[in-house]
Structure formats: structure tokens, C-alpha cells
Amino acid sequence: MTPPDTANENGPTGEAVERATARAAELRDEIEHHNKLYYQRDAPEITDAEYDALLAELRDIESEFPSLSTPQSPTQKVGAAPASRFPQVEHLLPMLSLANARNEDELRGWEQRLRNRLASEGINREELSFVVEGKIDGLAISLVYRDGRLERGVTRGNGVIGEDVTANLRTIAEIPTELPVKNPPALFEVRGEIYIRRSDFHALNEQRAEQGHATYANPRNLAAGSIRQLDVELTASRPLALWSYGVGALEGVSFETHSGALAQLREWGFPVNDFEVFNGIDAVAAACHGWEERREALDYEIDGAVVKIDDSELMRRAGVAGREPRGAIAWKFPPMEAVTTLKEIVWNVGRTGHLVPQALLEPVVVTGVTVQHATLHNEVDVVAKDIREGDEVVVTRAGDVIPRVVGPTAAGRDRKGRAAPPAPPSECPACGTPTKKDEGSDWTYCPNRRGCPGQRYQAFKHFVSRAAMDIDGLGEKQVALFLELGFFNELSDIYSLADHREALLQLDGFGEVSVDKLLASIEASKAQPFWRVLFAIGLPGIGSVNARNLARRFGSIDAMAAATTEQIAETYGIGEVLAESIAEHLAMDEERELIEKLRAAGLQLAGEEPAAAEGPLSGKTLVLTGTLPNMTRDQAREKIEAAGGRVTSSVSKKTDYVVAGEEAGSKLEKAERLEVTVLDEASLLELIGG
């Protein structure tokens, strides 16, 4: 029997139409709202899955009641109209969207419809060839090259009109500014996805967590947010990358196949991800499964696989339905996010003493993995995101190996009678020392820096880790064991482990061979360069990048310890607050003692990196700002350093030159105010003689 309020053979009843109309209006409002949050503010409030569900519901209603479908419906549009901070420009050809297949059946259904469509055009092929690619989870852009030169770069926007973000895109080293050919085509439009590598995302979040900043939700939002920054410097500081996946408008060049276009892109220096041509839908389905299997192992995030008919003519003949080309489809993977309840927030002590919150969750499956613990990064993050016990939260595995709590869902946040905001304990959970919070700081920490067993364990783990001293055979387990046995007390004890050789041999799982190997890798670590030692010691805020820059700037720990806060702040990437903390720590007795013991053990406390090369810029300090016409900032920095100069990040009276490119902002203003000489790229090159 047909329920009274749904369609029946005679068409929908009045009541059903009314309900559907109201629900459709509601859904449209809601979807538009979320579109804005996602596309314009890069701050989605709901998960992709929740969003897809809304869209699917609206689609269902519209297909049941076609009269409710309008061209303005979000089902007919791609994303929201762009925010207006950047000049809006029309795409040469619309940037289309992709229909979705959620499983193999839907994929096969799509192929059948495509065949039927082509048959109706008089095209009958035994087997079709398809290209299968990863569906990169980033931000779609278009790059227009006229006569071989990059003319403009535009975000997708609503597919028809996007935002001109050329200056920002120029800061991305992977984007060629010129096509490397003598006779370039008159017009060449490249399309691709801007993304951030998981490893870069993870490092950035770790660094932010360490410095007390709120962390980023996922690589996609960070990439999108970074491209749409008004401050070019900020964009330049983010590790943005490109995968190009196709061409758009073309003049003076054409491609018979999509794979041919990709090969050309690659030849011209555009990063093109792995792709392969497959004959027949069986092979295509297998390739899609293959991408899904590899998903976790990739250093970038994909949310599906994209299948495209390879023959350009067939792609054209298949045509476009709504905003979706019939010749391509996205096989969507399950989202990296899920919603669950945060049962409890527990606090641990981190390696630099900060109290680190951890979430205990109602177990939930995220892309095949059951998650019950997730990191909340730090105190500031918890406050910034207003996360409380009992909240319904979004948990993600995006961009990280370790699951993270993104934040409460809108429903979680609006819930009445929520728990009080969580507060870190007044005593260190590891050693019981009363915790401290310095004035003006957002951080609670255990002041028992080298004495607290919690901090000590974390500090050891960090010291021996691959990124630091890289001591093979000395992992978490061994560190915990040796701490328990009393072989380890302070970091320098690692280098007297050999004294315990006999005792080691008595331990379960240790034999002559493994003990000798372990002792040999400890010995070998003494040759690690100074910057690694500096990183391994683990002063708050010194990640591997800062450690490298400090090592390059000062050349030795002694020079660093003798430096003033101001001098430390002249190091590239080191601000005043961090410089002060570094100076303070290097003046502490316990740090000095540790350094002396490491020195006695034979570690490298001075760099093989020369403090500065000799050259026309010897003794000069330069600041880079804006986009240079022909060099990335890193290239410019290398040239300056090779010429003996030093690059710092902030302009002061001591700055000798400010090198300014296009869209230079506040630094240029400051240089003018302080009457610092301003150079353009050409005069910089002249100065360094080449």
C-alpha cells in the first residue's frame, strides 16, 4: 500500500508536495549555509558525509518532484559564489564537477549509461579506455598560460567565476611560471589541485601545538585557507603543493587523449600524479580498489579515485549533464571523519613540560580503524575549539597517523547543560609537582623540566627518534625499560649505556648481536650534525626547521648561548617570544649541565655548516618580502646566503636591505619608514654579481 503522503500512481498528493517543498527549501538554505562555510571561510561545521547526506536528500526530493528542481538549486551548482576579497574573474571554460559512485555497482552503472549515450551518438566500441587517477582532497585551481607565460591563477569558485589568486599561486615553487618550450601554444590552461602533504601538515600542527597555537583541522582546509590569504607572505610560508590533473582552454595545441595531455603536462614540468590507462571497466574497478588500498600510505590525502574516458573526442561527445561531464566519475571513499561522543579528557605531560590533553572517546570506526583515543593537541586548542567532556565531536584521521578531535559538532556545541570547560590539573600527572602558568601565557606546564619522569620519558623518546639522533634499536620500549632499570636518568646516560653491557646481556630479548648493534648505533649517533643535536635536546619551540636555521646562523651551541635575545631573533623564522625562551633555557643550570655532558660524550655541538659564506653580502642582513618575478623565496635566500648574507624575517634598523617583490606588504612599509634600502630582484642580482 502506498503511504498517503508519498507519490502514488496518479502523482504526488497535495500534502506530499507541500511537505517536499518545505523540506527542499530547508535543505537548500542549510546547504547554502554550509557551502559558504566550506568554500568561502574554509571552516566547515559538518563532516563531508553529513554534507553529502543533505545533498542526497535534496536530490532525491528533486527527482521525485521535478517541479521543485530549479537552476538555482545547490544540486545544480558547484559550491558557493566566491567571497569577494579577491578580484573575481570568469573562467575561460567552466570548471566542472564530478558525479559520484559509491561502490562498484554504481561505477558499472555509470559505464553502462555512458555506453548507451555514446551508442545514441552512433559510437559503438567494444571496450572503452579510461584513465584512473587519485582524487586529491585539496583546492581546485586553474592556471592560464598565454604565449607560455603564467598569466593568471584562479580558484574554482562557483565553477563559472573564481577568485584571482595569481600572486599567491606564484609563491608555490612547483607551479612553473613559464612553459619550457621555444614555441609555446598561444593559450594553455592547466587545471589541478593545490594540496598540502600529510607530512608537512603534521609537522606544522606539531609545531603549532608546541608553540601554543590552535591546530589546523585538516590539510584541505589549510591549503584552501592558505591560497585565499590576502597576505602573500603568509601563503608563501605554507608548504603548498600542486597536482595537475588536466587541461582546460587551449589554443595552438590539442590532445587526442587525456593521458596524452597528462604526459605533456609532466614533460613541461607540472607535477602529475601516477595515472594509468585501463581497458574495460573490470580493470578500472580494480584500479579504484588499488587506490583505496594505497590511500593510507600516500603522503597526500585523496577522497576517492577519478575515472575519465581517455579519448578526448568521446569525452566531448558524451557531453555534460548539469555540471558533470558524463565521461568522468569520482569513486568516493569513506570520509576520514566520524562523529562520536567525547567521554573524558585526560591530561599527560609532554616532552617540554606542557600538559597535553587527550580524548577518551566512545569507540568509532574511521576508515576501517576503531578509534577510542584521540589527541586534543594542547590546552589552547581545547579552549579555541570549545571542546568539553560529553560533547558530540568530529574525529578525524585526516593528515595524521594519530586520530584527532576536530571540535564539537554544531549540535554538541549547542547542547544545553554542557560540562564546564576542561581545566588542566593543578599538579603534574606524572610527578605531582604543582603546575604553573606564566603570566600572559596560555600554557600550563610542569616546571620540573629535567626531573619529571613524564617529561623525561618523552624527552628520551624524542632524543632517539629518527628525526633527531636517529638511534636504531633504541625505541619507545627500550627507553621505557632502561628508565625503569635505572640505566637512564638523564639524556647523556645514553652514551654510557656501554657501562651496562653485562646487565643488558641478561635481559630478555637481548643477545650479543643485538647489544653490540645497539651500542654501535649509539656510538654512530655521535656523528650526527650539530643541528640534530640541537633539535634532539628539545628546547621548547625548536623544531627541526628552527634547529637548522639556528645552527646555520650561530654555528655552535656556545655562540648561541652567548647571543642576546635580539640576536637570536634575527634568525630566520624565530620571533621575539621564542628567542626569549631559547635564551632563558640556555641560561638554565640544568640545560648547561646537560650540554656539557653531551659535549664530554663527544656529540657535535658546533656545526660543520659555516656561519656564513664570504661574499659581496658578508655581514649584511636582508629581509625578503612579496613575490619576486623569477625566483622563489627559497632560491633567493640560497643566493643571498651563498653571497655571504643573512636572511632574517623581520625588518629592523639593523636590516641592510629589504628585497621586495610584487604585493609586498607591511615589511616594505616598515623598511620605508626606517629608511632601509629597498632592492628589487634585478638589483639584488646585480649586487651579488649574477
Task: Point out the catalytic residue in the list 135, 332, 639, 667.
Answer: 135
Chain-centre distance for alpha carbon 220:
7
Q: Work out whether the CA dihedral 389, 390, 391, 392 comes out positive or negative.
A: positive
The strand pair at 657-660 and 677-679 is best described as parallel
Q: Between 210 and 301, name the residue whose CB sits nearer to ligand IVH.
A: 301
Q: Centre a 10 Å sphere on the Cβ of residue 129 and count the other Cβ atoms it contains.
A: 19
Q: Between 246 and 661, name the residue whose CB sits nearer to ligand IVH.
A: 246
Q: Between 135 and 351, name the residue whose CB sits nearer to ligand IVH.
A: 135
Which span (26-34, 90-98, 486-494, 513-521) binds ligand IVH, by CB under 6 A? 90-98
Distance CA 263, CA 271 (A): 10
Q: Centre a 10 Å sphere on the Cβ of residue 613 and count the other Cβ atoms it contains.
A: 13
Chain-centre distance for alpha carbon 221:
8
Distance CA 299, CA 121 (A): 42
Per CB under 6 A, 98 contacts ligand IVH: yes
CB 152 within 8 A of CB 164: yes
What is the smallest separation between the CB atom of 134 and ligand IVH, expressed in angstroms?
6
CB 185 within 8 A of CB 386: no
Q: Between 330 and 342, name the residue whose CB sits nearer to ligand IVH.
A: 330
Largest CA distance in the chain: 92
Q: Centre a 10 Å sphere on the Cβ of residue 225 and count the other Cβ atoms it contains.
A: 18
Per CB under 6 A, 330 contacts ligand IVH: yes
CB contact burial 542-578 (16+ within 10 A = b; e otherwise): bbbebbbbbbbbbbbbeebbebeeebbbbbbebeeeb
The footprint of ligand IVH on residues 244-263 (CB under 6 A) is 245-246
- On the 0-12 / 13-18 / 19+ scale of CB atoms within 10 A, 627 is buried
Q: Of these, 24, 58, 140, 471, which contacts ligand IVH (CB under 6 A)?
A: 140
Per CB under 6 A, 272 contacts ligand IVH: no
DSSP string, 625-667: ESB-SS--HHHHHHHHHHTT-EEESS--TT--EEEE-BT--HH
The footprint of ligand IVH on residues 371-430 (CB under 6 A) is none
What is the smallest separation between the CB atom of 588 and ligand IVH, expressed in angstroms?
50
Which span (57-65, 95-103, 337-345, 634-642) binds ligand IVH, by CB under 6 A? 95-103
Q: Measuring CA to CA, how many Å separate 474 from each of 451, 498, 521, 650?
A: 21, 13, 9, 40
Q: Is 135 a catalytic residue?
A: yes
Per CB under 6 A, 325 contacts ligand IVH: yes
DSSP string, 12-46: --HHHHHHHHHHHHHHHHHHHHHHIIIIISS--SS
Distance CA 369, CA 257 (A): 39
CA-wise closest residue to 156 among 81, 85, 213: 81
What is the smallest separation between the CB atom of 156 and ligand IVH, expressed in angstroms?
6
Q: Between 94 and 390, name the residue whose CB sits nearer to ligand IVH.
A: 94
What is the smallest separation between the CB atom of 22 and ligand IVH, expressed in angstroms?
29
Per CB under 6 A, 141 contacts ligand IVH: no
What is the smallest separation between the CB atom of 603 and ligand IVH, expressed in angstroms?
46
What is the smallest separation between the CB atom of 261 and ligand IVH, expressed in angstroms?
12
Site map 27..56 versus ligand IVH, x via CB under 6 A = ------------------------------
What is the smallest separation between the CB atom of 271 and ligand IVH, expressed in angstroms?
12
Q: Of these, 28, 91, 135, 633, which contacts ligand IVH (CB under 6 A)?
A: 135
Q: Please name the amino acid found at residue 179.
A: L
C-alpha cell, 480: 621505557
What is the smallest separation between the CB atom of 374 and ligand IVH, expressed in angstroms?
27
Which span (219-227, 323-331, 371-379, 577-585) binds ligand IVH, by CB under 6 A? 323-331
Which span (116-124, 170-178, 322-330, 484-492) binds ligand IVH, by CB under 6 A? 322-330
C-alpha cell, 115: 555506453
Distance CA 88, CA 72 (A): 20
What is the smallest separation between the CB atom of 274 and ligand IVH, expressed in angstroms?
11
Q: Between 247 and 542, name the residue whose CB sits nearer to ligand IVH.
A: 247
What is the smallest separation between the CB atom of 565 and ligand IVH, expressed in angstroms?
45
Distance CA 650, CA 570 (A): 8
What is the smallest separation between the CB atom of 100 and ligand IVH, expressed in angstroms?
8
Distance CA 273, CA 242 (A): 9
Q: Between 328 and 474, name the residue whose CB sits nearer to ligand IVH.
A: 328
The CB-nearest residue to ligand IVH is 140
Q: Between 276 and 608, name the residue whose CB sits nearer to ligand IVH.
A: 276
Per CB under 6 A, 156 contacts ligand IVH: yes
Please give the DSSP secondary-structure letter assigned to residue 359: E
Per CB under 6 A, 306 contacts ligand IVH: yes
Which span (32-40, 132-140, 509-517, 525-533) binds ligand IVH, by CB under 6 A? 132-140
Chain-centre distance for alpha carbon 227:
12
Distance CA 519, CA 141 (A): 52
C-alpha cell, 607: 656545526
Which span (16-24, 46-54, 129-137, 543-551) binds ligand IVH, by CB under 6 A? 129-137
Per CB under 6 A, 154 contacts ligand IVH: no
C-alpha cell, 2: 502506498
Q: Of these, 47, 73, 97, 444, which contacts ligand IVH (CB under 6 A)?
A: 97
Per CB under 6 A, 96 contacts ligand IVH: yes
What is the smallest separation between the CB atom of 306 and ligand IVH, expressed in angstroms?
4
Per CB under 6 A, 295 contacts ligand IVH: no
CA-wise closest residue to 139 among 157, 164, 161, 160: 157
> Binders of ligand IVH: how many residues, by CB under 6 A?
15
Q: Between 306 and 598, name the residue whose CB sits nearer to ligand IVH.
A: 306
Q: Which residues, listed in sequence order, are joined to residue 369 by a DSSP beta bridge?
A: 366
The footprint of ligand IVH on residues 164-223 (CB under 6 A) is 193
Q: Between 51 and 445, name the residue whose CB sits nearer to ligand IVH.
A: 51
Distance CA 303, CA 293 (A): 12
Q: Which residues, listed in sequence order, are joined to residue 11 by a DSSP beta bridge?
A: 8
Distance CA 689, CA 682 (A): 10
Which span (10-18, 94-102, 359-367, 669-677) binds ligand IVH, by CB under 6 A? 94-102
Q: Between 135 and 388, name the residue whose CB sits nearer to ligand IVH.
A: 135
Q: Between 273 and 514, name the residue whose CB sits nearer to ligand IVH.
A: 273
The set of catalytic residues is: 135
Binding site for ligand IVH (CB under 6 A): 96-98, 133, 135-136, 140, 156, 193, 245-246, 306, 325, 328, 330
